[in-house]
Chain A
Amino acid sequence: MLDSFMSYLGSTVTPGEANNQLWAMIYVLIIFAGVSVAVMAMNWLERKALAHFQVRLGPMRVGPHGLLQPIADAVKLLIKEDIIPAESDKFVFWIAPLIGLLASFTVYTVVPFGPSQAVSDMNIGILFMLGVSSLAVLGVVMAGWASNSHYPLIGALRSSAQMVSYEVAMGLAVVSAILMTSLHGAGLYGVAKLSDGTGTLSMIGIVQAQQEQQVWFLFKFFPLGLIAFVIFAIAMIAETNRAPFDLPEAESELTAGFHTEYSGLRWSLFMLAEYAAMIAVSSIAVTLWLGGWVRPFPHWLSGPTWDFIFALFPGLTFLGLGAIAFLGTVRMPKHAYFRVQTIGLAAFGAVLALIGVFLLAIVIGAKVSPHDILNRTTEGLSNVFWFVFKVAVFMYLYIWYRATWPRYRFDQLMRVGWKVMLPISLGVLIVTAIVGVLLG
């Protein structure tokens, strides 16, 4: 087993390609832990950010600035009583959140964090992601049906109708991005014949096509890539039932929709599935249009010095977060009541700063004394950081949308899905194909 561990370390392909089950399991465990931590962080960020948007403070009591609030929420949900409605279909009631969770988490098999950092690079990667994320609809429908009550049933029917409608627009927007992977010209409009594009459905291949064509697909054939991206961004919000498309689960409308009758651990599974689905579709958007793990300006600002400057970003980000935590420590009230919180926040800031210093040490060490392992670590670190950073921007945008926009009524929602998004995405697809043939 040790040689199975060591033989992969110098590899340039994913564990799926290298047929290395041990490393595939390690990646799966890392992704599972990472997504769970990200969901908890997202929960905290959502409550704090929404509160600050609404000129209030949000959770401040549980940990310093509410940092331990997600843990308290998790403990509360775990120890709650598990209520099952009387006449419900017990097997279906039990399995519905599991299907949602399965659909949301299986998608991470093909999410690429780097040129060889994915669990498996299937050659139908994007098709697999679209298909498996469409299985989440089944979980919603079964949850509404098994609850044997009016509000969940209506909420489930509305939610699944919405998800199915916006899947069509999502798929067409994805196809127009896939079309761009088969172009032969580099640059914004593909006039400089630099690369030899072979169309591909694999996620790593899509990012490498963007690298070869030296442009993010967001800016390709401007404004076609941008319109496709905007359509996908709107459709992905509707897919995950988030504001402004959250009528099926809005509290004032349907008393929490399809997960009304779920309590405690089962509800937390739904919440976990929803946030994991949000991160998954955001990573699709980042991979297809925003260049995946590629750092900004890889061709305009190229060369070893610019590479070094951009490689400093992970460490500097963590140092910046540590500095913000220290600022919060300094601004804490000087009262005996807050002593524990102040010490906790200072410790948290110290941990973040230490991580930042460690990352900076790796990067500076790779620059000062280039070594194979250090170089590859820096590269891997940089890839993962830029990917996670772009997905984090999308997460913040999700929260911003929820704070800013009012909810769509259900008939307006369906009208937008079928009468606005579908024609525009079809039009973008056709025009992209025509322009690609003319210019490519």
Chain B
Amino acid sequence: MTPVATPFFFYMLSGLAVAGGLLVVTRRNAVHSALSLIVTLLAVAGLYLMLYAPFVAGVQIIVYAGGIMVLFLFVIMLVSLERTIKERQFNRMWPVGLAASCALLALFLAVFEKGKKLFEDRPLPPLTENNNTQQIGLMLYGNYMFAFEIASLLLLVAILGAVIMAKKRI
């Protein structure tokens, strides 16, 4: 299936993702930040679809946008105090933090400039096969079976930990 209008969709989705990320770190109201993060997550899911990774896009929508963000919204509603909206937004160390982030950005730009010759940097041909999910399934249950089981153990431990920590009395 030939993709259509690829640059338009790429710039729209990445613009949405970066704009959402910017709103996450600059909004005073935590609920607005959560909504912007949802927009970012859905835009990144769209970018995964453009990268021919439909299963990861589906997992992103179900787990991240449909599960984790609901959890965030619940906790924001539980711990949100009236006075936090009227206080200062950025913490005491914000100049240091901003300087460190700028240093990180400079590092990224330097790496991109240096490494530009490593990439062939040509547009990739569109994929035609339709079995992404099947292949991921075969890999998960074949090569990476051990990591899969460890991930399920991790989730079990996380469930137990979250329940114990959020209970009123142990």
Contact across chains for A134 and B1 when beta carbons are under 8 A apart: no
Contacts of A329 in B (CB 8 A): none
Q: How far is the CA of A131 from the CA of B41 in the complex (A)?
A: 13
| Contact present for B73 and A153 (CB under 8 Å) | no
Of residues 18 to 67 in B, which have CB atoms within 8 Å of A's CB atoms?
29, 31-32, 35, 38, 54-55, 57-59, 61-62, 65-67
Is A381 on the interface with B (CB-CB < 8 A)? no
Pick from A17, A95, A157, A201: contact of B74, CB under 8 Å: A157
In the complex, the answer to whether A145 meets B73 with C-beta atoms within 8 Å is yes
Q: Digit string of A50-77 for contact with B (CB within 8 Å is 1, else 0)?
A: 0000000000000000000000000000
Known: A19-B4, A123-B130. A141 touches B61 (CB 8 A): no
Interchain CA distance A19-B128 in the complex, whole Å: 13
Whole-angstrom CA separation of A134 from B68 in the bound complex: 11
Residues of chain A from 1 to 34 with CB closer than 8 A to chain B in the complex: 16-17, 19, 21
Binary contact track A122-139/B, C-beta < 8 Å → 1, others 0: 111001101110110110
Q: Number of A interface residues at 8 Å Cβ cutoff, please give it.
A: 31
Dominant secondary structure of chain A at its interface with chain B = helix
Among the listed A124, A128, A141, which residue makes an inter-chain contact with B70, where contact means beta carbons less than 8 Å apart?
Answer: A141
Q: Kindly identify which residue among A19, A128, A134, A201 contacts B67, using a CB–CB cutoff of 8 Å.
A: A134
Is A344 at the interface (CB under 8 A from chain B)? no
Q: On chain B, which size bracket covers the interface?
A: 20 to 34
Query: B132 contacts the other chain (Cβ, under 8 Å)?
Result: yes
Does B155 reach chain A (CB closer than 8 Å)? no
A131 interface neighbour in B4, B61, B70, B132, Cβ under 8 Å: B61
Whether A19 lies near B2 (C-beta < 8 A) is: yes
What does the 1/0 interface line of B64-92 toward A look like (CB < 8 Å)?
Answer: 01110110011001000000000000000
Q: How far is the CB of B168 from chain A (nearest CB, A)?
A: 16
Q: In whole angstroms, how far apart are the Cα atoms of A142 and B73 in the complex? A: 8
Q: Does A160 contact B (CB under 8 A)?
A: yes
Q: Identify which of A127, A134, A141 contacts B55 (C-beta below 8 A).
A: A127
**Does A122 contact B61, Cβ atoms closer than 8 Å?**
no
* List of B residues within 8 angstroms of A135 by Cβ: 61, 65-66
Cα–Cα distance between A295 and B59 once the two chains are bound (Å): 34
A123 to B132, CA, bound (A): 9
Contact with A along B99-138 (1 / 0, CB 8 A): 0000000000000000000000000000000111110000
How close is A28's CB to chain B, nearest CB, in angstroms?
16
- By a CB distance below 8 angstroms, the chain A residues around B132 are 123
B4 touches A21 (CB 8 A): yes
The reply to whether B62 and A127 contact each other, CB–CB distance below 8 Å, is: yes
With a cutoff of 8 Å between Cβ atoms, the chain B residues found around residue A16 in the complex are 1
Which residue of A21, A131, A157 contacts B77 across the interface (Cβ within 8 Å)? A157
Q: Determine the distance from Cα of A89 to Cα of B134 in the docked complex, in whole angstroms.
A: 45
> Which residues from chain B contact A300 at a C-beta distance below 8 Å?
none
Chain A window 190-208, contacts with chain B (Cβ cutoff 8 Å), 1 for yes, 0 for no: 0000000011010000000
Task: List the A side residues contacting B133 at CB < 8 Å.
Answer: 123-124, 127, 201
A266 to B54, CA, bound (A): 34
Cα of A201 to Cα of B132 in the assembled complex, Å: 11
Contacts of A21 in B (CB 8 A): 4
Given contacts A138-B38, A138-B69, A164-B70, whether A124 and B77 have CB atoms under 8 Å apart is no
- Tell yes or no: A92 within 8 A of B by CB: yes
Judged by a CB distance under 8 angstroms, whether A405 is at the interface is no
A91 interface contact, C-beta 8 A: yes
Cβ of B77 and Cβ of A92 under 8 Å apart? no
Contact: A137 with B66, CB < 8 Å?
yes
21 A–B contacts, CB within 8 A, in A order: A21-B4, A91-B32, A92-B32, A95-B35, A123-B131, A123-B132, A124-B58, A128-B58, A131-B65, A132-B61, A134-B61, A134-B67, A138-B69, A138-B70, A138-B73, A141-B73, A141-B74, A145-B73, A157-B77, A160-B70, A164-B70
Report the 7 A-B pairs with minimum CB-CB distance, sorted nearest first.
A134-B66, A131-B61, A127-B58, A131-B62, A124-B54, A124-B58, A123-B130
B residues engaging A (CB < 8 A)?
A: 1-2, 4, 29, 31-32, 35, 38, 54-55, 57-59, 61-62, 65-67, 69-70, 73-74, 77, 130-134
Binding site for B on A (CB under 8 A): 16-17, 19, 21, 89, 91-92, 95, 122-124, 127-128, 130-132, 134-135, 137-138, 141-142, 145, 153, 157, 160, 164, 167, 198-199, 201
| Apart from A19-B1, A19-B4, A198-B134, 12 more pairs, CB < 8 Å | A17-B1, A122-B54, A123-B54, A123-B132, A124-B133, A127-B59, A128-B58, A128-B61, A131-B65, A134-B67, A157-B74, A199-B134
